[in-house]
């Protein structure tokens, strides 16, 4: 263990890429703001391309070295300074988020172009600046190795995400944005309280150092409870999900894709990070079961309420509430495995795959809903006739993304749920498997209803309200296909997600 | 000693009373005043704990800036508030009270049982102070050991400003934010707006400048300067610039961009991003702070002023 620790504290080859992955989006935002107008969009798109290249280079560095990529900021080693660390989990999230955000960027060119004849417009400029801000903040969440830097990341993410909800300026969306802001701020405060408590007791905010020092005692339990509750409010896990449906459904399509596909993954990832890497020696099976119980309730309630929705965007938003539930089943399963002396890798990988495949599928679904709205002028589920002939690619994309949410092979959702269910069976926690199967069944009903409705022939003489650019349809289909084919990850020769995670595994098995 | 104890107990009771007042009082405006008072009392607590850096920050941000934002919000709500009265039910309020009490009890238990002496990084921060060239360890933490956090916090302020501006009406985009002014060029406000700024500017710049070696710093200094600017505007003696002005935008991003450029220069000169070459740490830290100053002053003042509300006169 001392050996693995000392290797944690030096900058590795490729470490500089981590700094770039965080700062390039923010630099793009600052420069885009100075130029403004249509130039901001061009700066944003160039930044997306550069950021994608950087993230791929990070993945390359990780696989090449077979160990975590690390950067010591300013040469100040922790605990005094801050280290950036990208292990397998970080890198997989970095890559997935980069792919989705680039897809959203391409799609949004049509919806958030600056109108001709105007020097600058409010919604487009805000969207492009905040898209970059969300990306930089998420990258920071994935690679930061310090609990306070992670708090800054949460703040950045909140302030970048909330205005996206009310981009269209209607008063009811401002209301949902305000509600989201209140939940998110409460979450930040609780997280910060926990972090402060940890510093007070253990004298460091560095994750690997804390993992060694933290002990099962009241202060650690209190910090864990505060931080996890705060993150649950931000992730919208049942019963703290009330802010999510109006916020995600009311935003413009591209913004909904950012919020529902990406933003909630930030706080979820942070919960995973502190649960497994900080508090591995503190968490107990009953506390994990409680998180799992909330997850199971989210799956059942979210899906049933989604079934009753009459508007497509609200249906998709409630489906997010349900899918978040799966993300939290990973906790009792992993803790169950490690307390039985088994390797928790199966369930951690299952949870991560669920996060990634949902990010892709949900972004595709919300953007598909945007195209549906543009074509029909409404998004009433009962009246989707003629869509399949007007937008065949989009309907196919919706069906493929839906298949991934249901968990049909060979989708990423299938592999995720299969890993989670097999972990449930190994640890004799069969009830979680039942919930997952029931959730899949309910999801298949509403996906099926939507797809069947689109197959109905259009009325005589019906014409699309406005034409939809082909590239928008193509990018939605591409994201849905990514999610649908993600199950092929099982063929990957190395377990990328577990690269560089030796320290946490040592502490899991004392 | 006993006098000090009496002061402490009095302060604690006053703070609890102000907190209760802030929650219990029905009128929004009164509640805001309670909150500002509460912030000022907290400032005194930090002074009593011999933490002047925190005290200055609490006075500037917690009491001053947050207070200004809340007063602005309360003033805007005044017209509509009387008609829309949404009160949470008894059950909600009881649950909230129980939850808050539980969290408070758990926190008190943990804080009272903190290890003694508390583990701290303060000696380590002081030991490395020599290589940063600054005399104030708080400045060393903010601009050397954890400079990335400070950079990102400055960016948070800008993102919050974008968020506030995003609430503008489309037709006023690119226009001027406006303070609710009671312009009376001979009134008492205008009088103060003429007398106070020269003093305030000196105090603000002094607090900023002294921050390198003694308690003080850019956030606190920036708040004072922003307040002086807003005072002049609030008195109707000057106007806020349109948000499309290029000089405004350049000043708003200059701080973070200079910070990033100096940070990356460290890669060449000192072997790591955000590292400073030997002997140049203090001038570089000062350069970053000077660049951040206008960014913070403008961003904080514009946050208070709110979204653009009118087009600039042609």
Give residue B295's pLDDT: 93
Whole-number Å distance between alpha carbons of A467 and A483: 26
Q: Which domain holds residue A351?
A: 302-510
pLDDT tens-place string over residues A62-90: 999 888 899 999 888 888 999 999 999 99
Which residue has better confidence, A388 or B161?
Answer: B161
Q: Which domain holds residue B66?
A: 1-82
Residue B182 banded pLDDT, cuts 50, 70, 90: low
Tell whether the model's pLDDT for residue A508 goes beyond 80: no
Whether residues B55 and B160 share a domain: the answer is no
Question: A23 and A136 in contact (C-beta within 8 Å)?
Answer: yes
Tell whether the model's pLDDT for residue B183 goes beyond 70: no
Q: How far is A269 from chain B (nearest CA, A)?
A: 20
Give residue A86's pLDDT: 93
Whole-number Å distance between alpha carbons of A130 and A128: 6
pLDDT tens-place string over residues A317-346: 999 999 999 999 999 999 888 888 888 888
pLDDT tens-place string over residues B237-292: 788 888 989 999 999 999 999 999 999 999 999 889 999 988 888 889 889 988 99
Whether residues B132 and B253 share a domain: the answer is yes
* Residue A339 falls inside a structural domain: yes
| DSSP string across A27-71 | HHHHHHHHH-HHHHHHHHHHHHHHHHHHHHHHHHHHHHHTS-EEE
Give residue A113's pLDDT: 85
User: How many CB pairs below 8 A link A and B?
Assistant: 156
Chain B residue numbers with beta carbons less than 8 Å from the beta carbon of A21 are none
Tell whether the model's pLDDT for residue A102 goes beyond 50: yes
Q: How far is B194 from chain A (nearest CA, A)?
A: 33
Chain A residue numbers with beta carbons less than 8 Å from the beta carbon of B134 are none
Chain A residue numbers with beta carbons less than 8 Å from the beta carbon of B119 are 201-204
Indicate the average pLDDT of chain A.
90
Whether residues B206 and B156 share a domain: the answer is yes
Q: What is the complex's ipTM, to 2 decimals?
A: 0.92
* Residue B278 falls inside a structural domain: yes
Compare all CA atoms of chain A with the CA of B245 and give the residue at the minimum distance. A34
3-class SS at B243? coil
Give residue B1's pLDDT: 60
Of A16, A123, A152, the CB nearest to B273: A16
Handedness of CA B305, B306, B311, B314 (dihedral sign): positive
Give residue B137's pLDDT: 83
Chain B residue numbers with beta carbons less than 8 Å from the beta carbon of A140 are 152
Tell whether the model's pLDDT for residue B27 goes beyond 90: no
Q: How far is A23 from chain B (nearest CA, A)?
A: 8
Chain B residue numbers with beta carbons less than 8 Å from the beta carbon of A27 are 257, 260
Tell whether the model's pLDDT for residue A5 goes beyond 80: no
Q: Per the structure, how many domains does chain A have?
A: 1
The fraction of chain A above a pLDDT of 90, given in percent, is 69
Residue B54 banded pLDDT, cuts 50, 70, 90: confident
Tell whether the model's pLDDT for residue A504 goes beyond 50: no
Cβ contact (<8 Å) for A203 and B120? yes
Whether residues B199 and B304 share a domain: the answer is yes
Whether residues B127 and B219 share a domain: the answer is yes
Residue A505 banded pLDDT, cuts 50, 70, 90: very low
* Residue A155 falls inside a structural domain: no
Cβ contact (<8 Å) for A122 and B170? yes
Whether residues B125 and B74 share a domain: the answer is no
Cβ contact (<8 Å) for B260 and A16? no
* Residue A435 falls inside a structural domain: yes
pTM score, two decimals? 0.93
Whether residues B2 and B138 share a domain: the answer is no
Give residue B69's pLDDT: 87
| Mutation site, B102, B108, B137, B148, interface A, largest A CB count within 10 A | B148
Tell whether the model's pLDDT for residue A449 goes beyond 80: yes
Chain A residue numbers with beta carbons less than 8 Å from the beta carbon of B144 are 74, 76
Whether residues B127 and B201 share a domain: the answer is yes
Q: State the number of CA atoms in the 13 A half-sphere of B64 facing the CB.
A: 22
Q: Per the structure, how many domains does chain B have?
A: 2
* Residue B111 falls inside a structural domain: no
Across the range A139-143, mean pLDDT stands at: 96
Compare all CA atoms of chain B with the CA of A16 and give the residue at the minimum distance. B273
Q: How far is B54 from chain A (nearest CA, A)?
A: 15
Of B120, B272, B276, the CB nearest to A72: B272
Compare all CA atoms of chain A with the CA of B251 and give the residue at the minimum distance. A34
* Residue B203 falls inside a structural domain: yes
| DSSP string across A212-244 | HH--SSHHHHHHHHHHHHHHHHHHT-TTS-TTH
Chain B residue numbers with beta carbons less than 8 Å from the beta carbon of A263 are none
Compare all CA atoms of chain B with the CA of A218 and give the residue at the minimum distance. B110
Whether residues B76 and B128 share a domain: the answer is no
* Residue A490 token pair: 């099982």
The fraction of chain A above a pLDDT of 70, given in percent, is 97
* Residue A78 falls inside a structural domain: no
Tell whether the model's pLDDT for residue A43 goes beyond 60: yes
Give residue B73's pLDDT: 85
Cβ contact (<8 Å) for A74 and B115? no
Q: How far is A509 from chain B (nearest CA, A)?
A: 27
Cβ contact (<8 Å) for A122 and B162? no
* Residue B64 falls inside a structural domain: yes
Give residue A171's pLDDT: 87
| Mutation site, B119, B152, B268, B309, interface A, largest A CB count within 10 A | B152
Give residue A452's pLDDT: 92
Taking alpha carbons only, the member of A87, A85, A105, A91 closest to residue A54 is A91
If phi > 0 it is left, if psi is from -120 to 50 it is alpha, else beta; for residue B279 that is left
* Residue B87 falls inside a structural domain: no
* Residue A349 falls inside a structural domain: yes
* Residue B198 token pair: 């020269």
Whether residues B70 and B154 share a domain: the answer is no
* Residue B95 falls inside a structural domain: no
Across the range A222-234, mean pLDDT stands at: 94
Whole-number Å distance between alpha carbons of B60 and A382: 56
Of B109, B156, B273, the CB nearest to A155: B156
Cβ contact (<8 Å) for B249 and A33? yes
Tell whether the model's pLDDT for residue A506 goes beyond 60: no
Cβ contact (<8 Å) for B252 and A200? no
Across the range A122-131, mean pLDDT stands at: 94
Whole-number Å distance between alpha carbons of A339 and A331: 12
Whole-number Å distance between alpha carbons of A292 and A289: 5
* Residue A83 falls inside a structural domain: no
Chain B residue numbers with beta carbons less than 8 Å from the beta carbon of A81 are 145-146
Cβ contact (<8 Å) for B165 and A19? no
Whether residues B58 and B169 share a domain: the answer is no
Residue A63: how many other CB atoms lie within 10 Å: 13
Whether residues B78 and B126 share a domain: the answer is no
Residue B242: how many other CB atoms lie within 10 Å: 17
Q: How far is A153 from chain B (nearest CA, A)?
A: 8
Give residue B184's pLDDT: 67
Tell whether the model's pLDDT for residue B84 goes beyond 70: no
Of B103, B146, B166, the CB nearest to A122: B166
* Residue A286 falls inside a structural domain: no
Q: How far is B285 from chain A (nearest CA, A)?
A: 13
Cβ contact (<8 Å) for B273 and A71? yes
Residue A503 banded pLDDT, cuts 50, 70, 90: very low
pLDDT tens-place string over residues A177-204: 999 999 999 999 999 999 999 999 999 9
A86: phi then psi, degrees, rounded to nearest 5? -120, 110
* Residue A179 falls inside a structural domain: no
CB neighbour class for A215 (10 Å; exposed up to 12, middle 13-18, buried from 19): exposed
Across the range A94-114, mean pLDDT stands at: 93
Q: How far is B191 from chain A (nearest CA, A)?
A: 36
| DSSP string across A157-197 | HHHHHHHHHTTT--HHHHHHHHHHHHHHHHHHHHHHHHHHH
Question: A401 and A477 in contact (C-beta within 8 Å)?
Answer: no
Give residue B85's pLDDT: 64
* Residue B96 falls inside a structural domain: no
- Low-confidence winner among A129-133, A420-424, A495-499, B93-97 (lowest mean pLDDT): A495-499
Of A29, A80, A130, the CB nearest to B128: A80
Cα dihedral A465/A467/A471/A476 (nearest 10): 20
| Strand boundaries in A232-371, DSSP class E | none
Of A140, A156, A200, the CB nearest to B114: A200
Final residue of a structural domain among B60, B82, B104:
B82
Cβ contact (<8 Å) for A148 and B156? no
Cβ contact (<8 Å) for A152 and B167? no
Q: How far is A35 from chain B (nearest CA, A)?
A: 8
Taking alpha carbons only, the member of A4, A52, A7 closest to residue A25 is A52
Tell whether the model's pLDDT for residue A14 goes beyond 70: yes
């Amino acid at each position: 263990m001392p050996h693995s620790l000392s290797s944690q504290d030096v900058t590795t080859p490729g470490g500089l890429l981590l700094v770039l992955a965080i700062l390039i989006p923010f630099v793009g935002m600052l420069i885009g703001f100075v130029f403004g107008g249509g130039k901001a969009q061009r700066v944003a798109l160039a930044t997306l391309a550069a950021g994608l290249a950087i993230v791929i280079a990070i993945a390359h560095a990780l696989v090449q070295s077979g160990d975590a990529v690390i950067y010591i900021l300013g040469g100040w080693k922790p605990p005094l300074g801050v280290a950036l660390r990208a292990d397998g989990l970080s890198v997989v999230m970095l890559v997935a988020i980069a792919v989705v955000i680039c897809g959203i960027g391409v799609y949004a060119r049509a919806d958030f172009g600056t109108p001709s004849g105007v020097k600058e417009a409010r919604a487009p400029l805000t969207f492009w600046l905040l898209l970059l801000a969300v990306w930089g903040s998420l990258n920071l969440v994935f690679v930061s190795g310090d609990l306070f830097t992670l708090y800054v990341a949460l703040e950045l993410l909140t302030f970048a995400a909330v205005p996206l909800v009310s981009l269209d300026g209607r008063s009811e969306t401002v209301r949902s944005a305000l509600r989201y802001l209140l939940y998110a701020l409460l979450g930040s405060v609780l997280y910060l309280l926990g972090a402060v408590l940890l510093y007070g007791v253990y004298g460091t905010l560095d994750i690997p150092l804390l993992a060694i020092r933290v002990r099962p005692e009241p202060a650690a339990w209190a910090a864990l409870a505060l931080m996890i509750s705060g993150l649950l409010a931000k992730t919208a896990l049942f019963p703290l999900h009330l802010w999510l449906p109006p916020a995600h459904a009311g935003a413009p399509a591209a913004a909904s894709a950012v919020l529902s596909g990406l933003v909630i993954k930030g706080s979820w990832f942070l919960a995973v990070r502190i649960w497994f890497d900080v508090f591995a020696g503190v968490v107990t099976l009953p506390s994990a079961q409680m998180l799992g119980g909330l997850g199971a309730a989210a799956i059942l309630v979210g899906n049933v309420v989604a079934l009753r929705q009459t508007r497509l965007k609200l249906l998709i938003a409630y489906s997010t509430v349900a899918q978040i539930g799966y993300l939290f089943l990973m906790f009792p399963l992993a803790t169950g495995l490690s307390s039985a002396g088994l390797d928790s890798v199966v369930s951690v990988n299952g949870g991560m795959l669920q996060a990634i495949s949902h990010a892709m599928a949900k972004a595709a679904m919300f953007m598909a809903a945007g195209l549906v709205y543009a074509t029909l002028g409404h998004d009433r589920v009962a009246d989707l006739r003629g869509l399949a002939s007007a937008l065949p690619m989009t309907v196919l994309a919706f069906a493929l993304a839906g298949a991934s949410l249901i968990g049909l092979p060979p989708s990423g959702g299938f592999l995720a749920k299969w890993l989670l269910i097999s972990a449930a069976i190994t640890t004799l926690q069969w009830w979680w498997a039942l919930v997952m199967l029931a959730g899949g069944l309910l999801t298949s009903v509403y996906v099926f209803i939507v797809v069947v409705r689109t197959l109905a022939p259009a009325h005589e003489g019906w014409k699309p309200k406005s034409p939809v650019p082909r590239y928008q349809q193509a990018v939605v289909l591409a994201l849905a296909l990514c999610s649908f084919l993600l199950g092929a990850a099982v063929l990957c020769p190395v377990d990328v997600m577990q690269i560089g995670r030796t320290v946490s595994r040592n502490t899991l098995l004392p | 000693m006993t006098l000090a104890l009496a002061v402490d107990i009095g302060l604690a009771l006053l703070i609890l009373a102000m907190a209760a007042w802030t929650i219990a009082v029905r009128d929004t405006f009164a509640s805001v005043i309670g909150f500002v008072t509460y912030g000022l009392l907290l400032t005194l607590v930090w002074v009593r704990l011999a933490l002047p850096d925190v005290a200055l920050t609490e006075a500037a941000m917690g009491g001053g800036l947050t207070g200004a934002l809340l007063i602005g919000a309360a003033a805007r709500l005044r017209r509509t508030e009387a008609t829309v009265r949404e009160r949470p039910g008894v059950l909600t309020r009881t649950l909230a009270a129980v939850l808050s009490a539980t969290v408070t009890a758990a926190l008190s238990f943990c804080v009272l049982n903190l290890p003694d002496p508390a583990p701290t990084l303060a000696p380590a921060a002081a030991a490395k102070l020599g290589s940063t060239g600054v005399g104030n360890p708080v400045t060393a933490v903010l601009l050397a050991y954890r400079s990335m956090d400070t950079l990102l916090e400055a960016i948070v302020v800008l993102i919050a400003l974008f968020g506030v501006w995003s609430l503008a009406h489309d037709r006023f985009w690119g226009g001027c934010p406006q303070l609710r002014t009671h312009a009376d060029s001979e009134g008492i406000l205008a009088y103060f707006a003429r007398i106070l700024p020269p003093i305030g500017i000196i105090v603000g710049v002094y607090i900023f400048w002294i921050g390198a070696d003694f308690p003080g710093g850019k956030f606190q200094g920036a708040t004072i300067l922003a307040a002086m600017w807003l005072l002049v505007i609030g008195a109707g003696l000057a106007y806020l610039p349109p948000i499309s002005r290029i000089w405004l935008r350049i000043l708003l991003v200059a701080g973070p961009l200079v910070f990033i450029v100096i940070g990356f220069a460290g890669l060449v000169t000192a072997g790591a991003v955000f590292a400073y070459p030997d002997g140049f740490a203090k001038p570089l830290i000062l350069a970053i702070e000077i660049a951040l100053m206008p960014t913070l002053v403008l961003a904080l003042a514009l946050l208070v002023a709110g979204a653009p509300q009118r087009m600039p006169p042609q």
